[in-house]
A and B are shown apart, each in its own frame.
Chain A
């Protein structure tokens, strides 16, 4: 399908695709097996300017938006979703600074992130605060010109690899989620440490770690926005980054479809290629249709946000929930089309199926996305009466 991308978007897509095919695909299997962080590929992405596609030019970026970011994530995900999320999570850490940072904070942190010299991360989740963000316990206590942070974040993508962390902590327990604040914490701050690297089902090239604060003193000017704005920071951030997870899902699905379609053409059973069986043909047709529909929804949402829409939680959640369910289905069907070979690690589709699962879980599970969509619907229809 033709999405009438601008010339610059086309350029970004082609370069990301080239990196995916030439640099990521050949090492994806090995990175997965060894659970190795893709340093080399991050460097290539940095040199190619791709870390800056969504960042305004005044902070060293290319001045694009979420659409450009989605194009990169999608292309990388075709080859390896673990690599793609390491790229995307830097955006998840940078976006709150772009949205809520002071001019000084932006000048200080964003150019290095845009250049890919530094990775960023976003640290919200804790052992007792997953879907229910209001359960966070990490405390930030003001002490003169400093805040002192104590607590443990878990499952933080780019944990230990990122240089800049945006962290949610409680500044006023009595105010509930209105007592949360967001802070920028630099990696070398004393009192900041990292737990072990988690062993995961998929996206195994990405680093997922605990981020631990032990009397970690950070200058008070590192607060993002004002005290009490933490919850808003998190929600506004996710509204803008969920299409990126949708794009990750679209990329995974496309990778699986590409592989399954060409395999079906080459695999002979009963004296003919399995692609001559209608059962296989229909499966491929559905996979292609669903993937394209997911892509269309992700792009439409990204464009709506880039065009300056004010309220887009619902659309953003729809893009994420639909695309990630498609990715799960398409990758499962790809394994089916490959039969026993699909189940083997010698073929790439089992990894895609493992990788697809995470897109239904992180940045808000699909149940939570449906809650958000339903809530918006209820608001919308209630106001019509």
Chain B
């Protein structure tokens, strides 16, 4: 079974530093990680490969640094990584992202299943998977929490809903997007890490994948982000130091000073 896994790089949310003067994100220091949902996608791919044989290709559209994250996927069992990177891809909304990914996937060719995460934790739309399926003209199942059965040209899976789950079957090839309940991602192996270190990640440009320039990047994006801003919140924070008891005393004093009613 040939498996393609789509992964996105997202900022590590617990590691974001803010420039104190400008109140903006310190970009070069912000660590990037694989979108957490995509780790389940990679793990499911590895498990499918272990069960059925075949090959796993991991693909991402992003900046050159994303090659490192593709290598991490090789360390946990993927065979190859491919990076779609080109100025022409930049500024993509979900529709343009799916166009770029579809072009890349068509170039890889020969696939039985494509696995995506349920959603990216930054963009958060959950649209890329289904859009990708539409563009490739194949069925999709979103929010998969378990693959019940998979054969050469058939898949039956449990789709998680707010109230339980649905059992959905469709033909292969298909796109599935996965939720975290589906598995527990493994840690890398030393052999995998060594393979990853040696791996060369090919970088494909828009021309390499024959993408239609009107459908990708900013030009291909019907959605435009006009302005991003942080809502203004006026909170003065004061850190009280000292031993816990001392802190508690000072805190109560302050609250009394501010005439905030303390329920007794």
Contacts and interface: CB of A to CB of B under 8 A. Distances in A.
A18 interface: yes
B243 A15 contact: no
B44 to A, nearest CB: 16
B246 interface: yes
A48 B187 contact: yes
Interface in B154-207: 186-191, 193-194, 197
A377 interface: no
Nearest to A62: B190
Given A268-B243, A271-B243, A50 B187 contact: no
A12 interface: yes
B239 to A, nearest CB: 15
B187 A44 contact: yes
B187 A49 contact: no
A269 B197 CA distance: 50
B242 A271 contact: yes
B244 interface: yes
Contacts of A23: 187
A33 interface: no
Interface in A219-275: 268-269, 271
B186 A47 contact: yes
B193 A15 contact: yes
B139 to A, nearest CB: 33
B242 A268 contact: yes
| Majority SS at the chain A contact face | helix
Contacts, number: 39
A62 B189 CA distance: 11
A12, A47, A50 pick with most chain B CB within 10 angstroms: A47
A58 interface: no
B187 A19 contact: yes
B186 A11 contact: no
A22 B187 CA distance: 10
Contacts of B189: 47-49
Please tell me the size bucket of the interface on A: 10 to 19
Nearest to B193: A11
B190 A50 contact: yes
Contacts of A19: 187
A44, A48, A50 pick with most chain B CB within 10 angstroms: A48
A75 to B, nearest CB: 13
Nearest to A52: B190
Contacts of B186: 44, 47
B190 A53 contact: yes
A62 B191 contact: yes
A18 B187 CA distance: 9
Contacts of A11: 190, 193-194, 197
Contacts of A12: 190
A23 B186 CA distance: 11
A48 B190 contact: yes
A44 B242 CA distance: 43
Contacts of B190: 8, 11-12, 15, 48-50, 53, 62
B248 to A, nearest CB: 12
Interface of A: 7-8, 11-12, 15, 18-19, 22-23, 44, 47-50, 53, 62, 268-269, 271
Closest 9 CB pairs of A and B: A268-B243, A49-B190, A49-B189, A48-B189, A49-B191, A11-B193, A48-B187, A62-B190, A271-B243
